[in-house]
Structure 1
Amino acid sequence: MRLVIYVMAATLVLDQASKFFVVHMLDLWSRNEIAVLPGWFTLRMAWNQGINFGLLSNSNEITRWGLILMAIAISAWVWLWVRREPHRPVIKVAAGLLIGGALGNVVDRIAYGAVADFLNMSVPGLYNPYSFNVADIAIFAGAIGLVLFTGREKTP
């Protein structure tokens, strides 16, 4: 379980450090947008009160705390599932990514009332309105890893 803890902690620290640096040190909070590679990569501030792509977004405190509780419950379930039986390291890394990313977004919801999204990738000539963060990448990578690599240990 140490591997899960190390990956979870590293993910949480990287997520929160990147958010602090971009939102506060680069002052993206008030600047709103910084073109890093114009047309390809932009730091664009977005406060997401919902889940992916702004689904379930509203300023309702019940929704906010419901999403916090849901993220904690899913993280706890993944933690208990990984602890229950031996798994290959790739499964432990995936679980750590998912849990660390989910907790990173929980910290944002508690601290700011919304998740700080700021990474925006696009293609020249096309406008992408959606931003994401390190926690979102970790959650996605962890979920894909669990789907792809779980169940391969057992023989039919």
Structure 2
Amino acid sequence: MATKKIFPSKSSASLTPWLGIAFIIILIDQLTKITITRTFQLGEEKVITSFFNLVLAYNKGAAFSFLHDAGGWQRHFFTAIGLAAAAYIIYLLKKHGGQRMFSWALTLVLGGALGNVIDRVVYGHVVDFLDFHWEGLGHFPAFNVADAAICVGAALFILDELRRVNK
């Protein structure tokens, strides 16, 4: 009688849970953006705390508005990069799905990248609304849930690599 593997090996872990988490990130990202765009006017700001505001901002470029005024080609360029990155990340998740921290990092970046790709395709720009600031230091560029997921994913990549090097 053949026995089934109850616990998959590290290299054969299922892709499904990781894609499910990425979908949840995309869903939260898009729901927050829809809420902000329906309740705020472009540039409108609501003070929440002494260091945090909600604000509706549009970013036609990449992180920190890089290339925001490049004439429009950047929308297609960053959409293509996001889709290519998503395809490669799915390949990596399929191959390394059992490596938990690495897969969490990939999944967060995947959800964030696709959240921003959706904005570029639907709106022609990325919707940003989280505005942190410190007295005397000014405002950090506005960002969104997708951007936060990408940053946390990048931090997990670094942590995972540091952990791997120290072994």
Scaled by the length of structure 2, what TM-score is found?
0.81
- Runs (4+) of structure 1 moved beyond 3 Å? 150-156
Change (3 A) 1:153 1:44: same
Which position in structure 2 is the counterpart of 1:107?
A: 118
Does the CA contact (< 8 Å) of 1:3 and 1:93 recur in 2?
no
Does the CA contact (< 8 Å) of 1:28 and 1:44 recur in 2?
yes
| Deviations 1:75-99, CA, capped at 9 Å, x for gaps | 1112112212453222222211110
Say whether residues 1:10 and 2:21 are aligned partners.
no
Say whether residues 1:91 and 2:102 are aligned partners.
yes
Which consecutive unaligned segments of at least 5 residues does structure 1 have? Answer: none
The alignment covers a number of residue pairs equal to: 153
Change (3 A) 1:94 1:28: same
Change (3 A) 1:86 1:151: farther
Change (3 A) 1:73 1:120: same
Which consecutive unaligned segments of at least 5 residues does structure 2 have? Answer: 1-14
Does the CA contact (< 8 Å) of 1:47 and 1:114 recur in 2?
yes
What amino acid maps onto 1:80 in structure 2? Answer: Y
Does the CA contact (< 8 Å) of 1:6 and 1:96 recur in 2?
no
Does the CA contact (< 8 Å) of 1:3 and 1:92 recur in 2?
no
Scaled by the length of structure 1, what TM-score is found?
0.87
What amino acid maps onto 1:42 in structure 2? Answer: N
Change (3 A) 1:89 1:31: same
Bigger-Rg structure (1/2): 2
Distance 1:82 1:129 in 2: 32
| Deviations 1:52-86, CA, capped at 9 Å, x for gaps | 11111126332111110001111111211221245
Query: Out of 105, 121, 124, which is 2:132 matched to?
Result: 121
% identical equivalent positions: 29
